[in-house]
Every structure is written in C-alpha cells, then in structure tokens.
C-alpha cells in the first residue's frame, strides 16, 4: 500500500484518495510554519502546484494541514488522509516534519524532483492513517570530510538525504591527519596550511598509486553557520568532531609547536598524504591545551549542539614514551602510564566543555585509562566499548565497524570498487541490532541510538560516497527509526519489496547508489588496490 521507508509503527488503509490540485492549500499554525515552508518549497518545485497558504483545511480543496498535538511525543506524528484532506500532526515541529517526509513518499518518486515532469499530471494521496514514532533519539550519519573534502553544496545535499530517511544527527568529522576543514580565526594557519595536501594516495595505503595534484578545501565560518541552519530547518543536529590527541598531523603541520618537538623535528611535517594510523600526535603540554581551548571556543560559537566530539581514537603512545616532556607530565600528575595521560587529556576537555554547558563524546578509546566523567562514547570497535560504557552509567551511540561502517564493501565480487573490510550487504545492515543483548533494561537506557559511518579514504567524490552509502543507508535508517523484530525475524523480503519503490525516489534525487545487480561500469575502479577481509566479521 505505502512502500514506506523507514517502516511506520502502524498504517491503516482507507478507501479513496485526496487529490492535490491548483486549488489545494497548505495550512499551518505558528508552531509549524517552518515545516510548511520546507514542504511547500519541496512540493511546489516538484508538482508545479501553487499550494497557497491557508488557515484551515477545506473539504472541497483537498489541501494539506500541519499542526501540533500535545498528546504526541516530540518526534511522534500522525498522518490522516481522508475526505477532509491530509492532516499531519506531531508532538513537536520535528514530529510534523517527519510526517511531512512520509507525505512526500506517499506522493510518489516524482515528488523528489526539482521541476515538474508534467504540469497536467494528477497528484494524489491514498486515504489512510499512519501513526509513527522513532525507536532512538540519536539516528546518525558520520561523514568524514577530512580525508576527501566535500564542498558545502555536497554537505547540504547529504542533509537533505538524511532528512528524507528520518535521520537526525549529522556527525561532522572536520579534522584529521589529512586535512583541517574548519576556519578558526585565531589560528589561521590551520586552513592556510592544514587544509590541503600536495598529493593523495589512491586506494588502500598499500596501493602503489598516487594522485599527484593538491587536494583540499575548508568551510568558512559562514559556511558552517549555513550548514548548521540548513540542518536545523530539517530537524537535524550537527555534532562537530575536532580530533585530539591523535589524528592531528594537519594541525601539527600548521603549528609545529603542537607536536612532540623533543622527539621529532615537527617543522618537517606536512599534511599527511596517505592513510592509516599516524604516529605524530599532540604533545600533552599547557600550550596544546590552550591552543585547543581556543579552537573549541570558536567551535562552540558555531555549533549549538549538546554534544561535541573530540575523537580520542587511534592515538599511538610511542612518542609520549620517548618524550621527556610527556614523561614529566605523567610524573607531575601522578599517572600510571601513557594510557592515563590520554585519559587526562580527554578529561581536561570534558571538564572544559561541561563548564560551558556542553557534553563530550568520543570514540571508545576514551575508555582507556578511565572514562571521563559525563562523557558519552561512540562504540566503533564492536560492541564491547558500548557495553562497558553503558554498564558504567555512560551514554552510548552504537556504531560498530563490523556492522555499520559503510566504507566496507557491499559484495565479495571482483568488480566491487576499491574493496575495503568485511562484506556488509544490504541484508547485513538491515539485520543490525544496535542494543547489545547482554545489557539489562536499565543499562540499555544508556544507548542513545545508533550511527552509520562513512570514512572517505577511498571515496574521492560525492558519487563514490553515494555508492558506499546507498542503498544501505536506507536499511540503516529503518533500523534506527522503526521498532523492528529481533534480527533473525526481520522481514528482509518485505524490505526489498519496499526498496523497489524507494530506488525510484533515489533516482529522482540523483543518488548514485549501488544497483542490486552490482556496480555499473563507471562505478568500478579496476586496478585500484583495496583491503578486503575474508569471512564474516566478529560479532563483538
């Protein structure tokens, strides 16, 4: 009947349909004006219908109404299509917005186009009642723009794609060894030097291939403001990530004093041009802390999100072991080892962010040496970090690489472009269960939700990002939103049937997804070395 993705909690069919015509109106109250602005703009460009503003639904006009119902949850909605028109009610503006996304799906794939294909065609919504609400409050997508830069227009496009799938947290990975992507006024060399690299490894780090031209780019402060505002209009929260103390060579290349100068000549470092875990990490000095406090002050000005991500992953300790400065800091603080030194580093920014009304979140390595009080964890190395954090009373976002790293290959076939990691098919993602079964109900309440991650080492442009993300992101969105049965009991055949309709929506949106039959000729990358891992991934 509806072929909706994500699947709603309940959908009851009626008899008949609501016809949208040149006389139909779009009615909203003050609290839903923002949703009406978005929906009106989307539907006017796709249908060519004027959809003039109105105050109340008129039975004769077949219009659309948007309003709040305080009896519903903030993201919960009810959509009723009957003889009075189409009414979308939500407990908050976000709920109304998600209902509007469902309405768009009900209108058919051409409702996603930017201009009408036929101005005389009929537009209709079947009579039905849908009641729906999300399973998780955190339904996230992480996009790495440090390894390969995505220009602002591409980021805005991905926010639209997220909204179309009812995802509501955009984790913005802005800094890494290979590039610094956000303008910081008090430290201009971060973008003057740190935002570009002289060349780029093509394929996995073991590949002999290089692209011998500069690569880079960054977002100005106004670009960031625009991205955050655009996301907010779509009820998406942008969570910035500034990586410390590892994954920091781009920053050290710009400001060599940030590195371990008593161990290596940091002035010889440039922005890294290959992939992997980098040994060049930040020095645990007061100067480094003050520098990054300045960075985070500007980040907080630009991002109003509750959470700020500080990375904390893959920080090799070799330089700290050889650094007299680092060892003196360990002795001064009475720490046991370098793991506790990293914990001290993270705890410093946890306290700093907390004092400003924000919350720190980091990758599960921040558990090493003691978890910072009040910090939340992005559990990427399987489920174990999330289980440990939840049992200790800390909030968790589940994003295990074995399940929802969308840079991993989708098929074992030889034509899969730049094959990375384990095979994670559409069905594998659909059967992903974010809540570890060993958690008690009380512990499970610390699972804020789940997130799919797109690391872009081997994704050189938006078409490659599309290929890795879709159609699996649609399956992930249903996992994050819908109250699905246990993994083995999920109706994947039913999901595939609904995907047959959803591919038409993705086509209309211009998404370069992986076809079910395999990559198209232009999507392949013959001769570019990847790093496939054979066999099923470890579950934990």
Q: DSSP label at 114?
A: S
Catalytic annotation, pick one of 75, 132, 176, 241? 176
CA 495 to chain CA mean position, Å: 22
DSSP 355-419: TTT-EEEEEGGGGTT-PPTT-EEEE-SSSHHHHHHHHTT--EEE--HHHHBTTS-S--STTSSS-
Catalytic annotation, pick one of 29, 69, 82, 314? 314
Confirm whether 173 is a catalytic residue: no
CB atoms under 10 Å from CB of 153, counted, come to: 8
Confirm whether 183 is a catalytic residue: no
Catalytic annotation, pick one of 148, 204, 247, 408? 247
> Which ranges of 303-336 does DSSP label H, i.e. alpha helix?
318-322, 324-333
Would you tell me the crossing angle of helices 93-106 and 33-47 to the nearest 10 degrees? 20
Query: Residue 202 is encoded by which pair of tokens?
Result: 């093509």
Burial of 17 by CB count in 10 Å (0-12 exposed, 13-18 middle, 19+ buried)?
A: middle
H or E element in which residue 293 lies: helix 286-302
What is the spatial distance between Cα 446 and Cα 428, in angstroms, rounded to a whole number? Answer: 24
DSSP 481-536: HS----GGG--HHHHHHHHHHHHHHHHHTT--PPPTT---GGG--TT---EE--SP
Confirm whether 247 is a catalytic residue: yes
H or E element in which residue 221 lies: helix 221-233
Cβ-based neighbours of 304, under 8 Å, separated by 6 or more: 228
Query: Residue 284 is encoded by which pair of tokens?
Result: 């645990």
Query: Do residues 91 and 75 make contact, with C-beta atoms less than 8 angstroms apart?
Result: yes
Query: Do residues 312 and 292 make contact, with C-beta atoms less than 8 angstroms apart?
Result: no
Query: Residue 431 is encoded by which pair of tokens?
Result: 């059967």
Query: Do residues 429 and 482 make contact, with C-beta atoms less than 8 angstroms apart?
Result: no
Query: Do residues 236 and 143 make contact, with C-beta atoms less than 8 angstroms apart?
Result: no
What is the spatial distance between Cα 378 and Cα 371, in angstroms, rounded to a whole number? Answer: 12
Rg (CA), the chain: 24
HSE-CB at 442 with a 13 A cutoff on CA atoms is 3
Catalytic (active-site) positions: 176, 247, 314
């Amino acid at each position: 009947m509806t072929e909706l993705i994500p699947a709603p909690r309940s959908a009851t069919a009626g008899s008949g349909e609501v016809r949208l015509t040149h006389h139909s109106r779009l009615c909203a109250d003050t609290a839903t004006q923002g949703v009406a602005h978005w929906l009106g703009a989307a539907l006017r460009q796709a249908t060519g219908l004027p959809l003039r503003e109105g105050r109340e639904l008129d039975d004769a006009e077949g219009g659309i109404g948007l309003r709040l119902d305080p009896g519903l949850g903030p993201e919960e909605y009810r959509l009723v299509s009957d003889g009075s028109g189409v009414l979308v009610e939500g407990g908050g503006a976000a709920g109304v917005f998600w209902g509007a996304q469902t309405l768009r799906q009900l209108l058919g794939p051409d409702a996603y186009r930017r201009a009408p294909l036929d101005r005389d065609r009929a537009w209709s919504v079947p009579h039905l009642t849908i009641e729906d609400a999300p399973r998780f409050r955190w339904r996230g997508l992480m996009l790495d723009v440090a390894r390969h830069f995505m220009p602002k227009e591409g980021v805005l496009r991905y926010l639209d794609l997220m909204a179309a799938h009812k995802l509501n947290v955009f984790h913005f990975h802005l800094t890494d060894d290979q590039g610094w992507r956000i303008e910081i006024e008090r430290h201009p060399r971060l973008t003057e030097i740190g935002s570009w690299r002289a060349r780029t490894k093509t394929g996995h780090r073991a590949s002999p291939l290089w692209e011998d031209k500069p690569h880079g780019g960054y977002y100005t402060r106004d670009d960031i403001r625009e991205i955050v505002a655009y996301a907010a209009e779509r009820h998406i929260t942008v969570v910035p990530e500034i990586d410390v103390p590892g994954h920091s060579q781009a920053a050290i290349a710009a400001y060599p004093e940030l590195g371990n100068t008593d161990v290596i000549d940091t002035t010889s470092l440039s922005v890294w041009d290959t992939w992997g875990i980098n040994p060049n990490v930040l020095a645990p000095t007061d100067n480094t802390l003050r520098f990054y406090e300045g960075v985070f002050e500007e980040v907080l000005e630009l991002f109003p999100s509750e959470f700020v991500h500080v990375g904390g992953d893959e920080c090799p300790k070799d330089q700290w072991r050889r650094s007299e400065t680092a060892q003196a800091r360990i002795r001064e603080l009475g720490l046991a080892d370098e793991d506790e030194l990293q914990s001290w580093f993270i705890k410093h920014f946890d306290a700093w962010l907390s004092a400003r009304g924000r919350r720190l979140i980091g990758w599960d390595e921040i558990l090493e040496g003691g978890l910072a009080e009040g910090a939340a964890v992005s559990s990427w190395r399987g489920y174990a970090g999330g289980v440990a954090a939840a049992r200790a009373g800390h909030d968790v976002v589940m994003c295990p690489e074995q399940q929802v790293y969308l840079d991993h290959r989708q098929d074992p076939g030889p034509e899969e472009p730049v094959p990375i990691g384990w095979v994670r098919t559409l069905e594998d993602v659909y059967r992903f269960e974010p809540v570890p079964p060993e958690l008690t109900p009380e512990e499970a309440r610390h699972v804020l939700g789940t997130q799919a991650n797109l690391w872009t080492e081997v994704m050189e442009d938006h078409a490659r990002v599309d290929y890795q993300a879709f159609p699996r992101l649609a399956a992930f969105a249903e996992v994050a939103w819908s109250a699905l049965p246990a993994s083995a009991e999920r109706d994947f055949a039913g999901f595939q049937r609904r995907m047959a309709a959803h591919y038409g929506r993705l086509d209309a949106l211009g998404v370069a997804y992986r076809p079910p039959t395999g990559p198209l000729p232009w999507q392949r990358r013959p001769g570019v070395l990847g790093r496939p891992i054979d066999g099923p991934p470890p579950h934990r």
